[in-house]
Amino acid sequence: MSQSLAISATGLVKKFGGRRVVDGVDLQVPAGTIYGVLGPNGAGKTTTLRMLLGIIEPDEGSRKLLGFDHPRDGSDQVGYLPEERGLYPAMKAREAIAFMGALRGLPWSVGRKRAVTLMEQAGLGYAVDSKIRKLSKGMAQLVQLLGSVVHQPDLLVLDEPFSGLDPVNQENLEKLIRAEQARGATVLFSTHVMAHAERLCDRLAIIAGGKRRFEGTVGDARGRLPMQAHYTPERDDPAIAGILPGEARHNGREWVFPVPDGGIEAMLRLLTQSGYGVAGLSIERPSLHDAFVEIVGAKALADAEAAMLTEAA
Ligand SMILES: Nc1ncnc2c1ncn2[C@@H]1O[C@H](COP(=O)(O)OP(=O)(O)O)[C@@H](O)[C@H]1O
Ligand SMILES: [Mg+2]
């Protein structure tokens, strides 16, 4: 690859209690990109990120982070939002941000000034002097995120940054991630929600059961599935299924099916000749979510959700 890599990992393995929860993951994150690590709950995303950052050591495999063989040597150039959040409740927001910067070597005075600017840009200017305990959970999470960028890191690693945010703050976070990329940073984030990834990612990896199942652009992922036809007949009838491809789903008044290789003209002619008519027709690209379900497998996804419920109980 000609472009330089912010992260390069090969064959990462992590075992917990004899179980390989990360089972040979490769990851190449080109510098300057927004990169998504996608996967269902329990896929091994957090464990992978922790290995990349040097918080835990892999049992097998190797990784390089910002050119460093040991990731912790680069930690002053890294910003990290862990999955389990936490700030000191008695600190003022501005101090909490400066404090996180100080941990990465940023002078306090610089951190305090930048904290105010960052909070204003994020629409939280009114809360700079509020104590963390006075903030809503979502606001505190954004403050923690600002604390992870205040030292202007080259690499930003965000573990499920969107979870726990309301839609307005999710949008603020998307803006912030784009602003970090515009500043020149590489952003790596994990999520199990496809919509954010679809809008943000230059590239993405899909992990399931500790293994990487896909790597490429959003377009590459969506391109794995054929275009979908959405057809609404004028006169609906179960017999229509006999004319459509076997995979057709009946969804209310609408029939949804993959566009056949030769196009849908012949099929439409047959439908009109049979008197079903055409009240509506659109042809749509499958979403990243559709591709995700196809790559991970509907059953594996259901199993992952069930396992999480058992774990939480
Ligand atoms: N410290 C640990 N000890 C034992 N099992 C763990 C530990 N951390 C994670 N796991 C297990 O490893 C699997 C992957 O976890 P994780 O990396 O958190 O997945 P994800 O972030 O994709 O939801 C899960 O089944 C989880 O319960
Ligand atoms: Mg996780």
Residue type, 313: A
Q: Which of 36, 51, 21 is nearest to 292 (CA)?
A: 36
Q: pTM of the full predicted structure?
A: 0.88
- The mean pLDDT of the chain is 92
Please determine, for residue 309, whether its predicted confidence score (pLDDT) is greater than 80.
no
- Three-state SS for 129? coil
**Pairwise CA distance, residues 247 & 269, whole Å:** 20
What tokens does 290 get? Answer: 């559709």
What distance separates the 2 farthest-apart alpha carbons in the chain?
A: 77
Atom of ligand 1 nearest to the CA of 44: 17
Query: Exposed, middle or buried by CB within 10 Å (0-12, 13-18, 19+), for 26?
Result: middle
- Bridge-based pairing of strands 78-81 and 155-159 is parallel
Element (H, E) at 220: helix 218-222
Answer with the residue of higher pLDDT: 225 or 99: 99
Q: What's the confidence (pLDDT) of residue 311?
A: 67
What tokens does 172 get? Answer: 């603020």
Atom 8, ligand 1: residue with shortest CA distance: 47
pLDDT-derived band at 307 (thresholds 50, 70, 90) equals confident
Residue 55 near ligand 1, beta carbon < 6 Å: no
Residue 46 near ligand 1, beta carbon < 6 Å: yes
DSSP state of 191: E
Answer with the residue of higher pLDDT: 306 or 39: 39
Q: Could you tell me the residue ranges of all domains in the chain?
A: 5-222, 228-284
Collect all residues with Cβ–Cβ distance below 8 Å to 130 and sequence separation of at least 6. Answer: 92, 93
Q: What's the confidence (pLDDT) of residue 3?
A: 67
Cα(40) to centroid(ligand 2), Å: 9
**Pairwise CA distance, residues 192 & 177, whole Å:** 17
What tokens does 56 get? Answer: 């835990």
Residue 45 near ligand 1, beta carbon < 6 Å: yes
Atom of ligand 1 nearest to the CA of 47: 17
Answer with the residue of higher pLDDT: 202 or 308: 202
Q: What's the confidence (pLDDT) of residue 312?
A: 62
Highest mean pLDDT of the ranges 217-221, 258-262, 308-312: 217-221
Average the pLDDT over 171-190 and give the result. Answer: 95
Q: What's the confidence (pLDDT) of residue 313?
A: 59
- Bridge-based pairing of strands 5-16 and 78-81 is unpaired
DSSP letters, 64-112, are EETTBSSGGGGGGGEEEE-SS----TTSBHHHHHHHHHHHTT--HHHHH
Residue type, 262: G
Lowest mean pLDDT among 26-40, 146-160, 166-180: 166-180
* pLDDT tens figures, 78-117: 999 999 888 999 999 999 999 999 999 999 999 999 999 9
Cα(160) to centroid(ligand 1), Å: 14
Q: What's the confidence (pLDDT) of residue 262?
A: 85
Cα(210) to centroid(ligand 2), Å: 12
pLDDT-derived band at 2 (thresholds 50, 70, 90) equals very low
What tokens does 189 get? Answer: 């984030």
Atom 6, ligand 1: residue with shortest CA distance: 16
Residue 47 near ligand 1, beta carbon < 6 Å: yes
DSSP letters, 143-167, are HHHHHHHTT--SEEEEESTTTT--H
Helix-strand-coil split of the chain, %, nearest 5: 40, 25, 35
Ligand nearest to the CA of 81: 2
* pLDDT tens figures, 261-302: 888 899 999 999 999 999 999 999 888 998 998 898 877 778
5-222: CATH superfamily: P-loop containing nucleotide triphosphate hydrolases (3.40.50.300)
Q: What's the confidence (pLDDT) of residue 82?
A: 94
Atom of ligand 1 nearest to the CA of 39: 22
- Three-state SS for 194? helix
Q: Where are the alpha helices (DSSP H) in 253-312?
A: 265-273, 288-296, 298-312
Q: Which of 156, 160, 211, 162 is nearest to 190 (CA)?
A: 160
**Pairwise CA distance, residues 4 & 65, whole Å:** 11
